[in-house]
Amino acid sequence: MKLAESLLKSPGTPMFNIEQIRSDFPILKLKINGKPLVYFDNAASSQMPQSVIDRMIRYQTTQHANINRAVHYLSETATEEYEKSRNKLKCFINASEDREVIFTSGTTEAINLVAHGYGRKFISSGDEIILTTLEHHSNIVPWQMLAEEKGARIRVVPINNAGELLIDEYEQLFNKHTKFVGITHVSNALGTINPIKQMIEFAHARNVPVLVDGAQAAPHMKIDVQDLDCDFYAFSGHKLCGPTGIGILYGKAFLLEHMQPFKGGGDMIASVTFEKTTYNTIPHKFEAGTPPIAAAIGFGAAIDYLSEIDMSVIEAHEHDLIDYATEKISLIPGLRIIGDATKKVAVLSFAIDKIHPHDIGTLLNQEGIAVRTGHHCAQPVMRHFKVPATTRASFSFYNSMSEIDALISAIQKVQKIFS
């Protein structure tokens, strides 16, 4: 792999060769409207390196078959490769066992799995579920649906004007009715990193389980679920240089064993009669039907790629990117950064006086710059800051300082058009 050549070691620390890294991503060679692509929509979906693309093609051309279904060569090979990917994910987040890793279609399905599999079984009328203002809709709507069905109540942790959770108020929400906590590790709209370890410890001291939405954290930092001691952790492959349609739910084994299945069908059963079905063991109990095998294997290849770079190296480079971008963009008159938390990942949301975010995004696209505009499926955050939408530039480790310079120049061009 080309990447190996870029990781020349100097006193124990891998050197980060941005040009070598960028050469691993074929899509970064594209031109948009005659301009080099500057891809700053990584919080929505990151790009795939050639090694991931090649691995999926190899599966499709030499290993493709259904898994757990037959004893022939292709089925056994596909099953083995699928389970290898599960093991890679287990190691990536430091889970205790492979069976604690459930493949899902993404973070959204993982959260819904917990809402149905745990929530519908263990949450009752009068119980309370704690969420936060920073949640993506995917960690709000499933709990609202459950609360409406069960007669439970949603309670919400507020934020300050920096976009940080008010932890004192979080702690005050707990009472004898509190039965579950769902919190995002990192805000997709603002980049705020929440103190989830502290929050988990507080909840566990009161025997309350915690689900962490890690969709925006896993791409940017090392995740250790045993150190966090979270009960559930969810994230998606397409934000980690992998394909769409694949993600995982980590769950502590004893909790998964006591949960009911989310979906019924093939492979999640041990035996079936018309009188009774006996469910399979975990993780298979939660993986009904034919899974996205190629996507799971591609996800494993993405984990290989990221692990070879080292997440600590990725985190350091992205920290430099957000610091540089914040410093430069803060100097632009009429521009306001939305959310300036002390601890952030490489996400920059902003608004510009008298220019709608959609207009900003359209004009930046003419310069070859891809950003996200809108409410980012985080409307409670937008309401807090009294804006209908923001422009969000979200960076990845394959982005460069010169691309940030291009963004700054393009924003200034947009302002001139509207002046």
What is the number of other CB atoms lying within 10 angstroms of the CB of residue 335? Answer: 19
Closest of 183, 196, 179, 199 to residue 136, by C-alpha: 183
- Quickly tell me which residue has 């949603």 as its tokens: 154
Q: How far apart are the C-alpha atoms of 190 and 68, rounded to whole Å?
A: 42
Using CB atoms within 10 A of its CB, is residue 12 exposed (0-12), middle (13-18) or buried (19+)? Answer: exposed
CA distance 219 to 314: 9
Task: Identify the burial level of 273 via C-beta atoms within 10 angstroms of its C-beta, where 0-12 means exposed, 13-18 middle and 19 or more buried.
Answer: exposed
Contact 184, 213 (CB under 8 A): yes
d(CA 270, CA 293): 21
Residue 332 tokens, joined: 């632009």
Q: Is 377 a catalytic residue?
A: yes
Catalytic residue (choose from 91, 230, 241, 377): 377
Spacing of C-alpha 299 from chain mean position: 13
3-state DSSP helix/strand/coil percent for the chain, to nearest 5?
A: 45, 20, 35
**Diameter over CA atoms, the chain:** 73
Token look-up 């890690």 returns 214
Is 170 within 8 Å of 183 (Cβ atoms)?
Answer: no
Residue type, 264: G
Q: Who contacts 383 (Cβ-Cβ below 8 Å, separation ≥6)?
A: none
Helices (H) and strands (E) in the chain, counts: 16, 19
CA angle at residue 74 from 69 to 76, to 5 degrees? 55
CB 227 within 8 A of CB 94: yes
The beta strand positions in 308-355, using DSSP E, are 335-337, 347-352
From residue 238, give the alpha-carbon distance in Å to each of 89, 91, 211.
Answer: 14, 19, 20
Residue 280 contacts residue 268 (beta carbons within 8 Å): yes
The owner of tokens 């890793």 is 101
Task: Please give the positions annotated as active site.
Answer: 377
